[in-house]
């Protein structure tokens, strides 16, 4: 079973509109972290926002916010007032606390290709 599911392979959005990118996850670990990354065409992965499983409030970073619904195992990324420069691939990822070892890799979803149209 997939640990991270992103159901939107691609999205077209008008500039200045808000965007919601879906992410659901699967884990039995009570302690985990959820991440969103942006990957522009240049290839590098840019960290956007982090949500810990025990955080009471939804994470926010500038125009980015994470709609964390723990019971539904959902961690959607919301981008407010989208800009042309937001066009990129967006990846949801998870790190489980008990996946073994002192430093654990992230498990990524397949990504959503977001295109902002003028």
Partner 1 sequence: ETGVTQTPRHLVMGMTNKKSLKCEQHLGHNAMYWYKQSAKKPLELMFVYSLEERVENNSVPSRFSPECPNSSHLFLHLHTLQPEDSALYLCASSPGQGVEAFFGQGTRLTVV
Which residues would be at the binding site for partner 1 (CB under 8 A)? 4, 33, 35, 37, 42-47, 50, 52, 91, 93, 95, 97, 100-111
CA pair distance 39, 89, nearest whole angstrom: 5
Work out how close the CB of 15 gets to partner 1 at its nearest, in angstroms, rounded to a whole number. Answer: 26
Work out how close the CB of 87 gets to partner 1 at its nearest, in angstroms, rounded to a whole number. Answer: 18
Helix (H, G, I), strand (E, B) or coil at 2: coil
List of residues 6+ apart from 93 with CB closer than 8 A: 4, 34, 35, 36, 37, 106, 107, 108, 109
Of 48 and 116, nearer to partner 1 (C-beta) is 48
Of 12 and 47, nearer to partner 1 (C-beta) is 47
Work out how close the CB of 105 gets to partner 1 at its nearest, in angstroms, rounded to a whole number. Answer: 4
**Beta bridge pairs of residue 93:** 35, 108
């Amino acid at each position: 079973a997939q640990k991270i599911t992103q159901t939107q392979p691609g999205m077209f959005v008008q500039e200045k509109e808000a965007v919601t990118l879906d992410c659901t996850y699967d884990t039995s670990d009570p302690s985990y972290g959820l991440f969103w990354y942006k990957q522009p065409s240049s290839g590098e992965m840019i960290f956007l926002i982090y949500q810990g499983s025990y955080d009471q409030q939804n994470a926010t970073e500038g125009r980015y916010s994470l709609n964390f619904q723990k019971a539904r195992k959902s961690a959607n990324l919301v981008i407010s007032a989208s800009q042309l420069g937001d066009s990129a691939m967006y990846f949801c990822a998870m790190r489980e606390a008990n996946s073994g070892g002192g430093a654990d890799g992230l498990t990524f979803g397949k990504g959503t290709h977001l295109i902002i149209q003028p």
